Structure 1
Amino acid sequence: MRLVIAGSPQAAVPTLAALAASDHTIECVITRPPTPQGRKRLLTPTPVADEAARLGLPVLEARRVSDLDDELLPLDVDLGVIVAYGSLVRPPLLTWPRLGWINLHFSLLPRWRGAAPVQHAVIAGDAQTGATVFQLTEGLDEGDIFATITTPIGAHRTAGSLLDELSESGAALVRAVVDSLAAGTAHARPQRGDVTLAPKLGRDDARLRWNEPAEAVHARLRGVTPEPGAFTHWGDQVIKVLEAAIARDAAALRAAEVRREGARVLVGTATEPLELLRVQPAGKQAMSAADWVRGLPADRVVVFA
């Protein structure tokens, strides 16, 4: 089939690579324009743009797919494939491909419709997550489902590591669905179950709430890693918390209270303490928590959420 692929972040790159290696033809790749990155704010193409250039594929750039009516509507395309683009596809482009569009979404729909499904699944303490390929409609992640895969979240996985895994396994799922659509054997089913929403995470979502149980604090930390990145306050200083573990063998502390025990740095929650493993103070490089507190008084201090 003749395909158009839309996506921007690294999570969409495996799908582009998988379809480029298939028997189908990619007519063009749609991605967002370059954005300023790094301290020097250099304009940087999206990971999808870089991959398309490596593959020698034509690229169209737009903040919204539906801004490209004039460029896309003249093309003869059988199917659109979209992954993590960040905007809805509106008519007339929604029905422009002969078979419409399919979307790879990183959740078990209808749970966690929206921009940050993996992050919300981890924060909520879900036992599993997955990826879904569904027919794109005008509603937010509402279309009929062609295929799903599941993976356990576990007690230690971060949203970043799960998304890396799902972007690879999801790419294989997309390729299988595209092949079945080409063969005329694909079947879609309506979504069933309770709908939950996964809006984009903001800075306050990444603030650790030490008055919550240890499991909830740890789940939030993992759910916002690597982006937007968990943080707390040491006085008026922002401290990024990069890695921690539940210290089930430690004595309870008051919520937000910090204690040094040998090389360990413990922070109280509503239940067991968390042991800080890696942190990044404002303006400094990432370091072990033990290195961070070295030289500080050994008496108790408080971390303000």
Structure 2
Amino acid sequence: MFVTRFAPSPTGRLHRGHAFSALTAWSAAKAAGGRFVLRIEDIDPTRCRPEYEAGILEDLAWLGLDWERPVRRQSDHLGDYAAVIDALRARGLLYRCFRTRKDILNAIGDAPHGAMEAVRPGPHRAEEEARLLASGAAFAWRLSLDRAREALGEAVWHGMIFVEEGEGPDGVTGVLPVDPTAAGDVVLARKDTGVAYHLAVTHDDALQGVTHVIRGQDLFAATQVQRLIQTLMGWPAPTYRHHRLLAGPDGRRYAKRDRSVTLAELRAGGLTAEALRDELGFSCGG
């Protein structure tokens, strides 16, 4: 069965771009006679707010969308992600990294062969790691590409693909090769949150039986590392449909950080859900 999802983070109110993405996924599920799942990705305790989650539900209902219950809230399932981290660590695929963002940025500037060396910093020396652990310093768990490659073998490492039924930012589509090194030694868990985005989203897509990931082109590059995690964990590979990003009159794409006009503000200004759906290219019948 066709299963897709809309998975916003409650770090602000939804805007037109979110509405377009949600309607695209919901309409695809309806057309296929499939399932539409709403997931709240709230693993960042410093930015996520209950009032924003309530606003998301309000906005989607106003748009006329329906979804399965209960809604999965990632912060309620941190133990699930911890179990995956434990499994990867037991396989020797992770290492502790005590470097701060500033350390990484400085390393990028100093790297003689480009930035890739900086995002593949490698484990600390044993005595340095022991000292940092004893001091209580914060650390992240990074995925070691070298160990992942060894674990998977050369044939699998070089043979990973994904199916793109939409298009990437440059219009690429079809059966595409995966570059498992694209994100470097990616962080999969942090001391403060216990899990990072890439691991949480791939875990939940597998758990919820998502067959089609429908999302904006801004997340196209994330497919590379997510396919690597899926392969390492033996999770199924969904089909991907990346869609265009909406831009405002100034040519800039809608984004929370730019304080784009929210759906709540549009609604307060008198815009109807039917009018917005028509504007975005979706008839009232879906």
TM-score by length of 2: 0.29
Considering only CA atoms, is the larger Rg found in Structure 1 or Structure 2? 1
Higher fraction of strand: 1
Higher fraction of helix: 2
